[in-house]
Amino acid sequence: MTGDVELSTTTQNLYTYLVDEEGYITFPVLGRVHLAGMKPIEASRMLEEMIRESAPNAIVKVEISNFVVGIFGEVRRPDLYILRTPRFSIFDLIAKAGDLTLYGDRTCIKLIRDNDGEKIFEVLDLTDPAIFASPYYYLQQKDIIYVEPNKALKRSTTVTERDNVRISIASVIASGMVALVTALLFVFSGKS
């Protein structure tokens, strides 16, 4: 877990603690506390246990207050984005990136998610209403979205083997015609 962590007491006072590069926060009374690799619920329970002696009724809620996700491929503004809300959907990110280009395939959006060191690859279809119930609808820290090009763009950028044969035949015919015209010009220029 990296980024800002917000802790709240029962009186709704919010305190924000920045997780440093080594995965620690500096918490009053407790000092440096290591939170890297923990899910927010795990960090909440651990901190509640640690402060129970000095604040027996304290409730600690840990949330990631900002996280980074990336969107690339056929979108208007591909980039890494810092999100400041824990509930950010794939549609929110696409809107933030300026929407798909004309060549973006709305039926083939690839999501890459890191799940405890294991990479999950999921293909999402934005035209399918089932996306709203998908566990991938809301983004998580370090998610990467890749928008595939649609068939029209793929077709316009690929040269098939059959196309290579046609180009080769046309090239041979054109070369032969140039040689024939050159020979005819040489023959007729010599007769005059």
Give the H/E segment covering residue 2. none
Residue 33 belongs to domain spanning: 3-64
Q: Say whether both 98 and 118 belong to one domain.
A: yes
Query: Model confidence over 75-117: pLDDT tens digits?
Result: 999 999 998 877 899 999 999 999 999 999 999 999 999 887 8
Task: Dump pLDDT digits (tens) for 112-145.
Answer: 998 878 899 999 999 999 999 999 999 988 899 9
Instruction: Domain count for the chain, please give it.
Output: 3
The CATH number of the domain holding residue 83 is 3.10.560.10
What's the pLDDT score for residue 10? 47
Please indicate, yes or no, whether residues 71 and 151 belong to a single structural domain of this protein: yes
Same-domain check for residues 103 and 149? yes
Q: Last residue of some domain: 36, 64, 92? A: 64
Instruction: Give residue 9's pLDDT band: very low, low, confident or very high (50, 70, 90).
Output: very low
Q: Which helix (H) or strand (E) holds 74?
A: none
Domain identity same for 81 and 53: no
H or E, element range at 169: helix 161-191
DSSP state of 116: T
Global pTM reads 0.60
What secondary structure does DSSP assign to 79-103, as a single string? Answer: EEEEE-SS--BHHHHHHHTT-B-TT
Who contacts 191 (Cβ-Cβ below 8 Å, separation ≥6)? none
What tokens does 64 get?
């990631």
Residue type, 67: F
Query: What CATH number does the domain containing 15 carry?
Result: 3.30.1950.10
Name beta bridge partners: 26. 32
pLDDT one-digit tens code per residue, 141-184: 889 999 999 877 666 666 566 767 777 787 878 777 777 777 77
Same domain for 113 and 79? yes
Residue for token pair 């651990």: 46
